[in-house]
Structure 1
Amino acid sequence: MSADSFETVNPTPEPLAMGVGLSDPSMAHGRRQMLDMVNRLHNTGVQVDIDLPQIAVIGNQSAGKSSLIESISGITLPRAAGTCTRCPTECRLSRSTSPWKCIVELRYITDKNGQPLGQARTERFGDPVADKSEVEDRIRRAQRAILNPSTSSKSFLGDDNEDDMNELSFSNNYISLQISGPEMADLSFVDLPGLIASVGRDGNERDIEMVKALVTSYISKPSCVVLLTVACETDFENQGAHHLAKQYDPEGKRTVGVLTKPDRIPNGEEENWLPLIRNELEALEHHWFCVKQPSSQELKQGITWAEARAAENDFFSLKAPWCDLSALHQKYLRTTNLIDKLSLILSDLISKRLPEIQIELERSVQKTQSALQKLPKQPSSDAVGEVAGMLAVFVEELNRIVEGVPKADGLIQSIRPAQQEFRHSIFNTAPDFSPLESTDNITPRESLYGDQEDAISIGPTTTFGRTIYVDEVHKCAEDARARELPGNSPFSVQLSFIQEFTTRWEDPAQTLCVAVHATLSEHLKALVTKHFLGYGQGGLEQRMKSAFHPLGNGHWLTTDRILVQERLQRCTAATQALISKLVALEEPGPLTLNNHYLSDYKEKYLTRYRAAREKKTNSEFTSTIQNHRRKSSYASEITEILSHLATMGLRDVKAADLTKLLPTDEMEPALHIMADVRAYFQVAYKRVTDIVPLAIDHELVRGVARGLLPILYNGLGIGGADGVRICREFAQEGSDVAAMREELLNKMERLQVARQELVQVEI
């Protein structure tokens, strides 16, 4: 059937020739609008993302698909021996008041290696065709272009050498025919390669599975109407297309069966096919149809579309057993009835699917937007400015953190427990002086003070190492005395006790520094992750994070002289050196200008040491004096003594002063030594527990952020001659992220265009 034969329809056409398929003028305007909308949605390529209604024509090789499509579309498809269709051919028919034309496009959904593309690529193949007789040749050339992806498609527009071997035997890429004209249908369908039963001379086993997978990719979609062609000249059970359609539409709800070539049924076997027409065998919801297309000889003679339909009508009206079918089943015979049914099925499906498509489209847009938001921020065209801005924000937040933020897990709050531990460690080095002799063996220990830090313990070993009894101090003083008068001892005694605790302050101080470093390092890691995670391929984050590799014992790994790593290491080293110096200042000997504080503590300790000894050696007399105001056997006597002393002129004497009548304590010089040392410990303890944390805060905590931004600029080299290149390398996305971003952006573009098309129709 020649292409221009369709133009020779009678001036006054019969009803079946007034329109092809959905171009029937009687179709409601609203329904036609919906059909136009689906065609426009197909043009956007959104069928990759949304299940759009479509008719897919499938069948085995030589099942009569091409003739059937010619009857529906009014165009002539290429014909040759063997398999003609080697790639999908999409027909988008649209009715137009403009003259007939056909636009041929190549649609690429895979690259030349067969790998899926992020977004389908469309290429116009030549100028629009205005003469129907040229369509068959243009389609043949387009198919060669699809099957030879390594060659420019334009070369096939003028190349007439069809004997050259194709690169591919089949392809998922397809030809799109956009045909419009006054007599055209508003219909979309796709002609798929015929399923291969056996491999030909030029094929291979892979072709069988490739064609099957290609057909499956279409018919597996719920909104695909499967137009299943079955040739009556071949045994029904041997036609694989039927089995494949049944696999994906087991209940037969969206399959339309078409029996072709009924004129080639061997005599006497026609009855074998009638159960299908009656829907008694392999029942389908939309039934089985039977059509008869022109023979090869009739095609060569240029039979018209109307003549072909008339011949078909004569065949089914006059040929038994077809003519014997009831009127109920006669409507499942003839191409016109099939076209009407397809029109109705597709229209109803579109009417049902459009509201669902709108919902699915919005969901897909939201899901795609969410996926894009989860990707790392897209690199800026100004990589230097972007990196510089990120560093500035990073340093700004670091400064805020080291200054202190009001939250429980802030840096300063996290450091505080280590500071308290340091304070306790220093306090626990206090000398444990006992004003009693070692032979007294007083147990259990008694606290003479309520305040822990002012406590003087009497008893055995403390965390200092041991309890130092007054007789031991006395012996040390006596042993050290050289030219000093009796009762006097050299200052070296106090100095030896003072050095015994000050030399133990280095380790707790350095332990505090290590603890602060570890805490600061963790906060810096989290901050680097927050600001640089996912940027580019992670190079900038890695350069920043390489700073944090503690080796222990106050040492850190240096792998590169860059960034926070070197800054943190230098600040830590400077802090450790400063701590050593501050502690060393305490070791040579005592020094303080806080004389009042020292004197006050010495008096307090001396008084309490004396009271402890008096309680032990003169407990009855001391107790009597302390309780003279209470009712006791000696209360009146003590009052009388104080009265007599007042008469003698000693009016200011109090009961407690009577203890001075006791004999002089031979341990008094030792008590003075103990009070001197213990008082100085309080002075030095409070000084060192302030100055060491202050030094760590200044040199390490605040120090790591001080002047950091220029260090980062110089360390990264972004301010140098290679700054642009370096920043571009930092900003460059990984191939996986870039590919994902491109795919999502392409998808979003398709969805947005489809959304704009969809809002133009009232659903």
Structure 2
Amino acid sequence: MGKPKAKRLKAAHHESSDATSDVAASAIADSYNEQIRPLLDAVDRLRHLKVTQEGIQLPTIVVVGDQSSGKSSVLESLAGISLPRGQGICTRVPLVMRLKDDPSAAAGSQPMLQLEYGRGRVVATSERKVADAIDEATAEIAGSGKGISDAPITLVVRKRGVPDLTLVDLPGITRVPVKGQPDNIYDQVSKIIMEYIAPKESIILNVLSATVDFPTCESIRMSQKVDRNGERTLAVVTKSDKAPEGLLDKVTMDDVNIGLGYVCVRNRVGDETYDQARAEEERLFRDHPLLSKIDKSMVGIPVLAQRLMQIQGAIIAKCLPDIVKQINDRPAPSSSRCHRI
């Protein structure tokens, strides 16, 4: 009889520990929502008001990466939805992704999605149709070919469990045009990227494939132009399971000045659900003979989401007072318009 009692006590202890962890996680989430969410909403409204056209820079997490670096996989994992994929450039316009946690939604319920683009165009869509909706909006803005445009599309994702983040995904960097792309595609993409990453208010999320040498990545070269010491650059390393040899040295020696650190992730494979992909990712970094040696504070999509929220909160808190001052210093028509946020 004693042994079953001990087991019951042990089980009760684990349940108590789990409950304590849940309470702690909930408290952290509540604290974040109370302190950072209003600031993020304010910045999103300012972005919607196009104050950047008046020379006011907003704190922004900008996602850059060479073509086929795994950018789409990272963004899909953060948002928990599928994005357009295919040959050549998939992201042909800046895609502003506004992720909003919806704690009131039932577990497993469908997310609420809408696209905003053009002159006040708002299109509600679904998880099943969002990739097609983005393709259609892109074609409307940048044409049906493979050309690009600097006019953004905003994708609002309200879903239970997503991190509260606003990210700007930019076209992937390509040196050699594919059929249908303009000859100066590299110059066009570079111009858009540099406009977004140059302001000191921008945080650069540099997406690097574990299968390549980091110093050869064009996205690294571009970010070093505007952030030589990497003080506002965070790197996410994709395809970790495809090239585990030497990855620990790559992310600890840091030959390319990534000041905000590295996070290594595993890309979702085939028809895996996002929950299955995260379970496989956790198993990979726990059990793999090489990847298990990487510090746990540097691996996994959940770690990446947490790091991005922390960085985003810090940059908004740092920049917002100056943004408010700039708005207040504007002539009456602009300032009165912005004061309505």
Task: Tell me, yes or no, whether TM beats 0.5.
Answer: yes
2:11 matched residue in structure 1: none
1:346 matched residue in structure 2: 312
**Alpha carbons of 1:186 and 1:15: their partners in 2 closer, same or farther (altered >3 Å)?**
farther
Q: Verify: 1:31 aligned to 2:36, yes or no.
A: yes
Map Cα deviations across residues 324-361 of structure 1 (whole Å, 9 max, x no partner). Answer: 23xxx321111111111111000011111111111121
1:282 matched residue in structure 2: 256
Map Cα deviations across residues 278-310 of structure 1 (whole Å, 9 max, x no partner). Answer: 254223221111111112x2xxx2x22222111
1:656 matched residue in structure 2: none
1:537 matched residue in structure 2: none
RMSD between superposed Cα atoms in Å: 2.6
TM-score scaled by length of structure 2: 0.84
Instruction: Map 1:314-463 to 2 at 5 A.
Output: 314-325=283-294, 329-363=295-329, 365-366=330-331
Rounded to whole Å, the distance in 2 between the matches of 1:219 and 1:262 is 26
Q: Displacement of 1:753 after TM fit? A: 2.9
Q: Verify: 1:753 aligned to 2:337, yes or no.
A: yes
Rounded to whole Å, the distance in 1 between the matches of 2:21 and 2:66 is 29
Rounded to whole Å, the distance in 1 between the matches of 2:161 and 2:324 is 30
Rounded to whole Å, the distance in 2 between the matches of 1:17 and 1:337 is 17
Rounded to whole Å, the distance in 2 between the matches of 1:15 and 1:228 is 35
**Alpha carbons of 1:209 and 1:280: their partners in 2 closer, same or farther (altered >3 Å)?**
closer
Q: Verify: 1:139 aligned to 2:144, yes or no.
A: no
2:265 matched residue in structure 1: 291
Rounded to whole Å, the distance in 1 between the matches of 2:183 and 2:77 is 33
Q: Verify: 1:270 aligned to 2:245, yes or no.
A: yes
**Alpha carbons of 1:182 and 1:753: their partners in 2 closer, same or farther (altered >3 Å)?**
farther
Rounded to whole Å, the distance in 2 between the matches of 1:347 and 1:220 is 20
Q: Displacement of 1:55 after TM fit? A: 0.7
Q: Verify: 1:217 aligned to 2:195, yes or no.
A: yes
1:310 matched residue in structure 2: 279
2:100 matched residue in structure 1: 94
Q: Indicate the structure (1 or 2) with the bigger Cα radius of gyration.
A: 1
**Alpha carbons of 1:63 and 1:260: their partners in 2 closer, same or farther (altered >3 Å)?**
same
TM-score scaled by length of structure 1: 0.39
Rounded to whole Å, the distance in 1 between the matches of 2:19 and 2:44 is 28
Conservation of the 8 A alpha-carbon contact between 1:91 and 1:188: yes
Rounded to whole Å, the distance in 2 between the matches of 1:246 and 1:230 is 14
Count of residue pairs the alignment pairs up: 314
1:231 matched residue in structure 2: 209
Q: Displacement of 1:144 after TM fit? A: 1.2
2:176 matched residue in structure 1: 198
Quick one: higher RCO (CA 8 Å, sep 6+), 1 or 2? Answer: 2
Rounded to whole Å, the distance in 2 between the matches of 1:174 and 1:95 is 23
1:103 matched residue in structure 2: 114
Higher helix share: 1
Which secondary structure does the structure 2 equivalent of 1:178 belong to?
Answer: strand
Rounded to whole Å, the distance in 1 between the matches of 2:161 and 2:309 is 15
Conservation of the 8 A alpha-carbon contact between 1:17 and 1:306: no
Rounded to whole Å, the distance in 2 between the matches of 1:218 and 1:16 is 39
Higher strand share: 2
Rounded to whole Å, the distance in 1 between the matches of 2:237 and 2:19 is 25
2:91 matched residue in structure 1: 85
Conservation of the 8 A alpha-carbon contact between 1:276 and 1:283: no
Q: Verify: 1:242 aligned to 2:247, yes or no.
A: no
Which secondary structure does the structure 2 equivalent of 1:359 belong to?
Answer: helix
Q: Displacement of 1:76 after TM fit? A: 1.0
Rounded to whole Å, the distance in 2 between the matches of 1:14 and 1:200 is 54
Q: Verify: 1:59 aligned to 2:65, yes or no.
A: yes
Conservation of the 8 A alpha-carbon contact between 1:24 and 1:185: no
Map Cα deviations across residues 430-473 of structure 1 (whole Å, 9 max, x no partner). Answer: xxxxxxxxxxxxxxxxxxxxxxxxxxxxxxxxxxxxxxxxxxxx
Q: Verify: 1:75 aligned to 2:81, yes or no.
A: yes
Rounded to whole Å, the distance in 2 between the matches of 1:170 and 1:340 is 32
Identity %: 26
Which secondary structure does the structure 2 equivalent of 1:270 belong to?
Answer: coil
Conservation of the 8 A alpha-carbon contact between 1:88 and 1:175: yes
2:158 matched residue in structure 1: 180
Conservation of the 8 A alpha-carbon contact between 1:36 and 1:94: no
Conservation of the 8 A alpha-carbon contact between 1:60 and 1:197: no
Which secondary structure does the structure 2 equivalent of 1:286 belong to?
Answer: coil
Which secondary structure does the structure 2 equivalent of 1:141 belong to?
Answer: helix
Which secondary structure does the structure 2 equivalent of 1:205 belong to?
Answer: coil
**Alpha carbons of 1:15 and 1:755: their partners in 2 closer, same or farther (altered >3 Å)?**
farther
